[in-house]
Amino acid sequence: MVNNNLYAYFAKNFLKYPKRDFLSSDHGSIKFENIHEETGLYVAMFSNMGISKGDRVVVQVEKSIEAVLLYLACLRYGAIYIPLNTAYTKEELRYFLSDSMPELFVCDPQKENSMRELAKELKLNNVISMNSRKEGTLFHRLLEVQSSSFVEVCKDDDLAAILYTSGTTGRSKGAMLTHKNLLSNALVLLDYWAWEENDILLHALPIFHVHGLFVALNIAILNSSKVIFLDFFDSKRVISELPNATVMMGVPTYYVRLLNEQGFNKSVCQNMRLFISGSAPLLSETFNSFEERTGMQILERYGMSETSMITSNPYSGNRVAGTVGFFLPSIEGRIINEKGEEVVDGEIGVLEMKGPNVFKGYWKMPEKTKLEFTPDGYFITGDMASKSSEGRITIVGREKDLIISGGYNVYPKEVEIALDMIEFIKESCVIGLPHRDFGEAVTALIILQETNQEFEVNIRHLLNDKLAKFKHPKKILLLEEIPRNTMGKVQKNILREHYKNLYLE
Ligand code: MCA
Ligand code: AMP
C-alpha cells in the first residue's frame, strides 16, 4: 500500500547522507541518520498521551531543532500541526485554541502555568512546554518513552497542517493543508530552483509560517541538505555565516538590512548560489542595489499560506526586478477583471489559480471557503496582478485590505477593532504606509472622545494584552475627521496618499 504521508517521503532521504548534519544551530545539531530515531520518541509520547490521527497539535514555541522534530513527528503520526507566531498574546491564543480545539498544546516553559489555566478554561487536555535550551515538560515526557518505529499511513488529502492567516473581518482563518499540498510544492521548487547535492541552506526565518517551515525546510529535507539554523534574523550573524552557505531565503526586510551593513559584500557571498525573496514585495531599488553590491540577482517568488508558492522568477534566465516571475509548473493561473473575464496581457485584475498545492479549505468555515473559489475551481488570491506577453506576473496591489510589515500580515480591521474598544477613542482607521525597513508600517489615525495628553502611552499599554507586537501601530496620529465617501466608507486611499512620506523623510 502506498503511504502518502509526507514524512514517509522525507524518510527516504534520511540515509542518503546519514552522517550529514540536517540542522546545525547554536544549541546543537542533528544528523540525518538520527531523525527517525529522534522523532520516534515524540511519536511514542503522542501515543502515551492518547493522541490520535487527525488530532490537532498547537505549537507556540521558540525556534529550535526540537521544534522541527516535533513538526516531523506530527506528520509521521498523522496529527495536524498548527504552528503559531510566538508574538501572539494570551488573548489571541484563546481564539486559536478555541477554534482548533487541539488534543495537545505545546508552549514556552515560562508561560506554562498561565497556559494551563487557559487550557482548563477551554477544556483542553494536554499542555506541555519546550524551548531551545531543552527546558520544559516535553523533555521530561521524552525521557519516559522508548523510540517508536510507527509511521501512520496517510492518504494524500489527509491534513498535515493548519496555518492560521488573518482575515479581512479581523478573525483569523485556519488554512487546511494536506500532505499532497506540501509535497507537490516542495518537489516543484526543488526542481525549479535547481537544488544541488551539496547545497547548504542558511535559515534565519521563523518556523511558524509557510516560508520558513515549508518552503525552506521541506525542500532541504527532500534534498538531504544541511541547514544552518539561526535562532532569528540578525544581519551581522547572517553575514558571518554566509561564507558557509549556498542558498538563503528571506523576506525583503532581510535584504534591506543586509545592504545597510558595510560587511555585506561580494566576498562573503562567494559560495552563495541563490538568494530567494518572498512574502512581501521586493522593491526594484533593493534588487538593483543587491546586484550592484554582490553581482547576484535576488530571485523573487510569490505565494500564500493557502497555496504555498504560486509563481517564481526563473533560476536560469532573466530575473526581472518588480516581477514575481512565471506560474510554477503544475499551476494554472489567470487574471480576471471585474466582469469576470480574463484580462489581456498587461491589464490588471485579480489573480486566480488552481493546482495540487491549493489548500483543502478553511478549518470549520465551509461558507467562507466557498466564497474564495470560483465555480470552476480556481482559488481567488485577492492579489491584483498583471501578466506580460512573456507570461511574467507582476503583483500590483491587493484587493484585500492588508498590510505586510516585515513579511508579517496585519489586517487593519483587527487593529481597528482593538483600538475602537478603547474607551477614549471615538473612531480609528488603520493604514499601511511605505517604510524603508519593514516595507509597510502599520499606522493608526484616531479621533479622541476628548483631549488626552497621555493618549499614546495609554493606547500602547492597552494594546499590549490584545495584539502581538508586530501589529501595533508604529505611529499613532490624531485626526479631527476621517475622510469618507458619500456611502460613508472610509477613504483610506486619500489618507495613504496624504501620509505617504511619513516614514521616508
Ligand atoms: C518584529 N517587530 C515588527 C516585526 N517584527 N514590527 C513590524 N513588523 C514586523 N515584521 C517589532 C517587534 O515587536 C519589536 O517591537 C521590534 O519590532 C523589534 O523586535 P525584534 O524581535 O528585534 O524584531 P526584528 O528583528 O525587527 O524583526 C523583524 C524581522 C522579523 C527580522 C523582519 O519580523 C521577521 O523575521 N520576519 C519574517 C516574517 C516571515 O517569515 N514571514 C513569512 C510569512 P518593539 O521594539 O516595539 O518592542 S508569509 C508566508 O509564509 C507566505 C506564504 C510567503 O509568501 O512566504
Ligand atoms: P500569507 O497570508 O502570510 O500567506 O501572505 C500571502 C500574501 O503575501 C499574498 O497574498 C501576497 O499579498 C503577499 N506576497 C507574498 N509574496 C509576495 C511577493 N513576492 N510580492 C508581493 N506580495 C507577496
Pocket test of ligand 2: the residue of 172, 404, 408, 410 to mutate, having most ligand atoms within 8 Å of its CB, is 404
In the DSSP assignment, the letter for residue 343 is: P
Q: What average pLDDT does this structure show over 262-275?
A: 98
Q: What is the pLDDT of residue 488?
A: 87
Instruction: Report CA(254)–ligand 1 centroid distance (Å).
Output: 10
Domain of residue 410, residue span: 403-498
**Has residue 112 been placed in a domain?**
yes
Residue 410's pLDDT is what?
A: 95
Q: How far apart are the first and last CA of the chain?
A: 63
Helix residue ranges, H only, 295-393: 366-371
Distance separating alpha carbons of residues 293 and 287, to the nearest angstrom? 10
384/396 Cα distance (integer angstroms): 6
Q: Is residue 436 part of a domain?
A: yes
381 membership: H or E segment, kind and range: strand 379-387
Residue where a domain stops, chosen among 125, 154, 183 = 154
**Cα–Cα distance for residue pair 412/499, rounded to 1 Å:** 16
Using CA positions, which residue lies closest to atom 52 of ligand 1?
304
CA Rg value for the chain? 23
pTM above 0.95, yes or no: yes
The answer to the question of residue 422 being in a domain is: yes
Distance, CA of 212 to CA of 204 (rounded, Å): 8
Which of 136, 154, 172 lies at the terminal end of a domain, its last residue? 154
pLDDT the model gives residue 170: 67
The rounded mean pLDDT for the chain is 97
Q: Per-residue DSSP letters for 434-470?
A: EETTTEEEEEEEEEESS--TTHHHHHHHHHHTTS-GG
Burial code (b: 16+ CB inside 10 Å, e: under 16) for 248-282 equals bbbbbbbbbbbbeeeebeeebbeebbbbbbbbbbb
Question: Does 280 contact ligand 2 (Cβ within 6 A)?
Answer: yes
Half-sphere exposure of residue 370, counting CA atoms within 13 Å on the CB side?
4
Reported as a single tens digit per residue, the pLDDT across 384-396 is: 999 999 999 999 9
Q: Evaluate whether residue 189 is within a structural domain.
A: no
For residue 256, give the C-alpha cell.
534591506
pLDDT greater than 80 at residue 233: yes
- The CB of 325 under 6 Å from ligand 2? The reply is no
Kindly state if the Cβ of 308 falls inside 6 Å of ligand 2.
Answer: no
Chain segment 149-200, per-residue pLDDT in tens: 999 999 999 999 999 998 767 689 999 999 999 999 999 999 999 999 999 9
* Total domains present in the chain: 2
CATH of the domain at 51: 3.40.50.980
Question: Domain holding 456: CATH number?
Answer: 3.30.300.30
Site of grid cell 558557509:
244
Does any domain span residue 418? Answer: yes
311 lines ligand 2 (CB under 6 A): no
Is there a domain that residue 24 lies in? no
Mutating to test ligand 2, I would choose from 205, 304, 307 the residue with most ligand atoms within 8 A of its C-beta, which is 304
Residue 428 lies in a domain: yes
Percent of the chain with pLDDT over 70: 99
Q: Which of the listed residues 120, 154, 188 is the one where a domain comes to its end?
A: 154
Does residue 439 sit within a domain? Answer: yes
